[in-house]
Structure 1
Amino acid sequence: MTNTPDMTDAPGGAGWGRWLARRLPVVGGLAAGGVLLLGVPAFAHVSVQPGTAPKGGYATVNFKVPNERDNASTVKLEVSLPTDHPLASVMPQPVPGWQIEVTKAKLAKPVEMHGEKINEAPSKITWTADGKGVEPGQFQQFPVSVGQLPDNADQLVFKALQTYDNKEVVRWIEPAKPGGPEPENPAPVLTLTAADGAGAPAKSGTQDAQDTKDAKDTAADAGAVSGSDTTARVLAVIGIAVGIAGVAFGVLAGRRRSA
């Protein structure tokens, strides 16, 4: 039989006090468990930020690397660049405390960039810490300017290897399947969007004529306003002059009467 406080006893009375005393340890345990669950850090992985860029242009992206270990620091990041859509221009931004190496590879099929054929392109970027690296509870961003982005693809996949100072290597190389759950170690993905300005409606000849007419009307209105403003200023000056003359005449007349 469950012991419950005497409902005839007022809250705060002896019956309620004994009932709460017996159940406080249980309530406290549940509360502590809730705090522990809320305190578990969210799962994070190596990613590309921002996650989108326009097709056919250049973009600066950041490879964001969080440290997911409590007892080790990230000391190396290796990012493999896509080979199905090679990037002819890859320029990492210097990051204090890190050495950067860009590895190039010969292309199976030359690509054309700015009217020139390119037979090799960057295939991998390696960042190696020459200090403490990314310590527990921290993250680091590695900026890279990349281009020219392809205009015939919807995404670029960058497989990454994250190395800790305890020799552990986490391989962020698993591709995500459309409609499927996120892999345990997903590869960073840059989604390519329609080029800037694409899809903007073109103006018709009628619209251009209307725009020209509106511009002329605006100019005419501005001229009319300017002319009205000038007339108002002239009248104001004349009024001030007349006022001054009237005051002077009144002062002179008063003196004559006094004399």
Structure 2
Amino acid sequence: MSNNRVMRATVLAATFGAVGLLGAGVASAHVTANIYGNQPQKGGSGTIVFRVPNEEQDAGTNKVEIDFKPEYAISTVRYKPVPGWTAQVEKAQLPAPVKNGKNLDVTNPVTKITFTAQPGSALAKGDAEFQEFEISASTLPSNVDELALPAIQTYDNGLVVHWDQAETGGAEPEHPAPTVQLAAAATGSGHSDMSVSPAAESSSTTSDNTARWLGGAGLVVGALGLGIGGGAVLRSRKAK
């Protein structure tokens, strides 16, 4: 291959690499719903952290709204306070009740939570800052595998961005809605793997003590055996 061809191939590879990195940077700037820890289970509760990056060079983010579908029948949403921001949870009165993840009727599910920046606390202009908003929600639905939680991002210049588009055909839309995958509900009480009854703990302690005693006794017997064996060897040598 000539030097010109090598140079051309190198330039093309570098160009495609730069484009790929740029695309990755744009994708990572979406509003996302993240799980730090165990995946929320169907019919249970879960902690979700919304990461909101600022994307406008001439404006800062001063309000974030998260929508909850009424059919999810989520009755409780709590939030972790963010310094400099206020939060408000909204509910809606439905004309007919909907079933939640525990098959109970819910007539006033949570439909929105809004985080609003106090003066001087908005995200700065440009793309250097982001903020995380942590919530806890229950009861999660049991009839869906994924929660779609559309977000609305408002900038201090009046610009409003709706993060509410669903993926179609495997292609990521320009403004995808934050989503959370739900794990299958745990079977049984769900406590057997994490807790130990007092009786089981006592039995375990007794077994452990017994094992230690037997191990110690074995060491003593072994030592005695070595001593006896060593004495027999010395006696046999003297007899010779």
Question: Shorter-chain-normalised TM-score: which range?
Answer: 0.5 to 0.7
TM-score, length-scaled by structure 1: 0.62
What code does the residue aligned with 2:113 have?
A: I
Within the candidate set 47, 58, 61, 2:32 is matched to: 47
**Pairwise mapping of residues 150-169 of structure 1 onto structure 2 (< 5 A)?**
150-169=141-160
More strand by percentage: 1
- Measure, in 2, the Cα distance between the counterparts of 1:34 and 1:113: 47
Residue 145 of structure 1 aligns with which residue?
136
Which TM-score applies when normalising by structure 2? 0.66
1:73–1:132: 8 Å Cα contact kept in structure 2?
Answer: no
Deviation at 1:54, TM superposition (A): 1.9
Amino acid in the other structure paired with 2:33? V
The answer to whether structure 1 residue 134 and structure 2 residue 123 are counterparts is: yes
In our comparison, the structure showing a higher alpha carbon Rg is 1
Q: Which runs of 5+ in 2 are unaligned?
A: 1-10, 191-205, 225-240
Out of 156, 164, 180, the residue aligned to residue 170 of structure 2 is: 180
Where 1:142 maps in the other structure, the secondary structure is strand
- Tell me, yes or no, if the aligned pair for 1:158 and 1:187 is still in contact at 8 Å: yes
Structure-1 residue corresponding to 2:44 = 57
Mark the CA change 1:110 to 1:84 in structure 2 (over 3 Å): closer, same or farther. closer
Asked whether the equivalents of residues 88 and 113 of structure 1 are also in contact (C-alpha less than 8 Å), the reply is no
Cα distance in 2 for residues equivalent to 1:113 and 1:34: 47
Deviation (angstroms), 1:224: 2.5
Q: Tell me the residue number matched to 1:97.
A: 84
TM-fit CA distance, 1:182: 1.0
- Measured at CA, do residues 87 and 72 of structure 1 come closer, stay the same or move farther in structure 2, by a change above 3 Å? same
Q: Distance in 1 between matches of 2:103 and 2:35?
A: 29
Instruction: Describe how 1:148-227 pairs up with structure 2 within 5 A.
Output: 148-177=139-168, 179-196=169-186, 222-227=212-217
Indicate the residue corresponding to 1:121 in structure 2: 109
Q: Secondary structure at the match of 1:193?
A: coil
Paired residue total: 195
1:223 and 1:35 map into 2 onto residues whose CA distance is: 65
Per-residue CA distance 1:151-195 (angstroms, 9 max, x = gap)? 221111111110001100001111222x33111111111111223
CA RMSD of aligned residues (A): 4.0
Q: Which whole-Å CA distance do the structure 1 matches of 2:43 and 2:21 have between them?
A: 43
Distance 1:121 1:38, change over 3 A: closer
* Residues in 1 aligned to 2:18 and 2:155: alpha-carbon distance in whole angstroms: 27
User: 1:118 and 1:217, CA in 2 relative to 1: closer, same or farther beyond 3 A?
Assistant: closer
Moved more, 101-110 or 140-149: 101-110
- State the identity as a percent: 35
| Distance in 2 separating the partners of 1:36 and 1:152 | 42
